[in-house]
Structure 1
Amino acid sequence: MTRVFRLLLGGIAAALISLSVQAEIPATEVERATLQETLRLDGMIEAVQRSTVSAQTSGRVLRLPFDVDDRVAAGELILQLEDSEQRARRDQAEAGLEEAQARLRDARQRFTRVQSLHQRNLISQQEFDQARNALTSAQAGVSRAGAALAEAREQLEYTRVLAPYDGILTERHVEIGESVSPGQPLLTGLSLEKLRVVVDLPQRYAGLARTRRQARVTRADGRPLETGEMTFYPYASEQTHTFRLRLALPTPGEDLYPGMLVKVDVPVAAREALWVPASTVFHHSELTAVFVLDDQDRPRLRQVRTGVERDGRVEVLAGLDEGERVATTPDALFGSERLDAAKEGARN
């Protein structure tokens, strides 16, 4: 019984080995496809709206409700100047307007009386002209007084500096108690609602990139970013001799901020290349190889030289020809009966 049992086990093992040797090896063909060569550059995210608010009137800083890095809403007060001088000018201008309006009423009443007398030929033409000219002058005086009042009110408004848009304060150029004059920078801020990517292109690639108008932007972790309108600057930097490319970000998201670095891939050339799945290539020390299947589906080790890797595929620079079949799971062949059979066939 023991001998028969052993013979039975030996037969079963031989059958299993035979099936393992004859099992079909998963394989794929070497394909030829176009390789789009790209230039990878470091880009930076910047705010579309970034501005410095300057003083439009003179005065002393009374209030600074927000500090650097604070968020502000559009229309919020971000700086208050002492306004006693501007209020006095406004009050004076209002009084001047009232006085001019009173003179206009007197001139209009006098002209009405003179006009009635002139129509009855009771006064001379000269007196009539004088009354009419006085009315015109009074009307002009009201216009001047109104303009002076508008200017005084505007100067008073300039003492209250409001945020031009929703954003973040990035710099404060003055402190409470300082006296400022028109044109002096007060606060700098930016908006996070509209962002864009800027990148500098080397001069040799600028013409091709401008013609193709294609670029791919990815975050530091590899996630792609949706981009919109692409703008090429029509001049080069005098320092670096590079051309600036700007890409809009229609939906920047909450995790993107000005100053962050991103990767920008710009197509610069196209050529034909041989491709195999990345899973077919294995590396051991300095060896890079694949298993090529012959006409009898026997795997044979072949060294290859590879290039770029894109979307799960590897470019083959040397070692393979188009149409050859390579094993898709090379790791499974190591130590297998199929590989031993291939070695034995090669020796015979």
Structure 2
Amino acid sequence: MRNLVLMISLAVLMSACGGDSDVAKLKSKLESIEKDIQEKTIEAAELEEKIAKMDPEFAKKTEQSVLIKSATIAKSDFKHKIQVQGEVASRKNITMGAETMGRVMQINVTPGDMVKRNQLLVKMDASTTENSIKELKTALDLASTIYKKQKNLWEQEIGTEVQYLEAKNRKETLERQLATAQSQLNMAYLKAPFNGRINDVNVNMGEMVQPGMPVLSMVSQEEMYLKAAVSEEYINDFSQGDSVEVYLPSIKKSFSTVVSSVSYVINPANRTFQLEVKVNEFLENLKPNQFARLTLVDYENENAIVVPSEVVQQDNVGDFIYLVKTKDNQKKAEKVRIERGKTFNGKTEILKGIEAGDVIISQGYREAVNGIAVRLAK
């Protein structure tokens, strides 16, 4: 009815434009037509309402409705995850420094070499210490012989106790001096403390080194792990044994592991705490400081009411969802206020407002209004 009146009005206006060029008359004609349209629209609405009361079939034809799809809500497991940047680290990534002053006399390794525990890596000049050891060994041999003879005499009650004690003291003093010299000699020999790979050599043959000066660095893949700095906002959300998904962009590999430790000290510089993760795969491809992406579950609800995030709408009051309710044998949209929880991966947890078994409008919710009739799409 409304469309018919509008078409007639437009036709009258167009005909008037063709025969009369007076703008004032056209405006007056337009106002008259608009007023007539308003009156006819009101009259048509009143007639539709009267006819609908007298003829139910006519009411069904004229009643407004929207086409929708629905979904029944059921409780499910909901997980919220966060991603943090981490890096590969090793507990056996060390820089070995000189323990004594000396000249580098021998370098047995180059960067990239695999070495075994106790293997000699670098030797420094220790000729003075070596000569001292030889002298001490000669003196110790003599002192040991004298001690044994003096001990035998003392056991036979020959000689004095002072002679016996002096011989014993001389022998023990030389033994300690020899042990000290041997320790000094060992400091001139840099040996591998564990099985690993040489990363860098910082000295050259014939170079003088001082105590503490870096000589070489080495690393082992035996005790690799991942570490990440996590915002203090999550300090109580993770614990040892929590599952972690790891992605290594440089080698395009992923694997699952667990949290091995959580620091309980906040770094005041960036307000983060350190989280460590076990590494159990792709060890041969890992290197210290290699980038990694960690995905961790910071929240989980095994009996959550979860809906697609897109169906949650907002107005000036707050969040709401449209449910499908049957009233007077007809399905209608019902606007329900809800309290939302966390959102992740296109899913939103609903804390209040709906429950398991409710039917939500999953498609067509944009066209719905509270109380409007709905038709379910096949």
Query: Could you tell me how far apart the structure 1 residues matched to 2:152 and 2:226 are?
Result: 68
In structure 2, give the amino acid aligned to 1:240: N
Check conservation: 2:243, 2:296, Cα contact below 8 A: yes
Relative to structure 1, the CA distance from residue 95 to residue 316 in structure 2 (aligned partners, 3 Å threshold; closer, same or farther) is: closer
Correspondences of 1:66-215 after superposition (within 5 Å): 66-108=109-151, 111=154, 115=157, 131-206=160-235, 208-210=236-238, 214-215=242-243
Following superposition, the deviation at residue 222 of structure 1 comes to 7.1
Is the counterpart of residue 226 in structure 1 residue 269 in structure 2? no
CA contact (8 A) 1:273 1:315 kept: no
- Is the contact made by 1:167 and 1:192 (CA closer than 8 Å) also made in structure 2? yes
Between 248-257 and 104-113, report the one with greater CA deviation: 104-113
The answer to whether the 8 A contact 2:100-2:188 is kept is yes
Q: For residues 238 and 325 of structure 2, what CA distance do their matches in structure 1 show?
A: 47
Q: Percent identity?
A: 18
SS at match of 2:99: coil
Query: What do you get for the CA RMSD once the two structures are aligned?
Result: 4.4
Cα distance in 1 between the residues matched to 2:190 and 2:111: 16
**TM-score relative to the length of structure 1:** 0.62
CA contact 1:215–1:265 (8 Å) conserved in 2: yes
Structure 2: runs of 5+ lacking an equivalent: 1-68, 312-322, 327-341, 364-374
Partners of 1:211 and 1:164 lie apart in 2 by: 33
Aligned length: 275
Pair 1:240 & 2:281 matched: no
TM-score between the two structures when normalised by the length of structure 2: 0.58
Query: Could you tell me how far apart the structure 1 residues matched to 2:200 and 2:71 are?
Result: 60
Q: Report the CA distance between 1:53 and its aligned residue.
A: 2.1
Task: Please report how far the alpha carbon of residue 241 of structure 1 lies from its aligned counterpart in structure 2 after TM superposition.
Answer: 2.0
8 Å contact from structure 1 (residues 40, 266) kept in 2: no
Superposed structure 1 runs of 4+ greater than 6 Å apart: 292-295
Distance 1:271 1:140, change over 3 A: same
The alpha-carbon deviation at position 105 of structure 1 amounts to: 4.2
Q: Deviations over 1:89-113 (max 9, x none)?
A: 1111111202312432453465467
* Structure of greater Rg: 2
Aligned match for 2:286, one of 253, 256, 276: 256
User: What amino acid does structure 2 have at the position aligned with 1:246?
Assistant: E
Unaligned runs of 5+ in 1: 1-25, 117-127, 282-291, 296-306, 331-344
Matching of residues 257-296 of structure 1 within 5 Å: 257-259=287-289, 260-268=291-299, 275=306
- 1:263-284 CA deviation, whole Å, 9 max, x = no partner? 2324147597655799x99xxx
Amino acid aligned to 1:267: D
Q: Deviations over 1:291-330 (max 9, x none)?
A: x9999xxxxxxxxxxx9665xx85588xxx8754899xx9
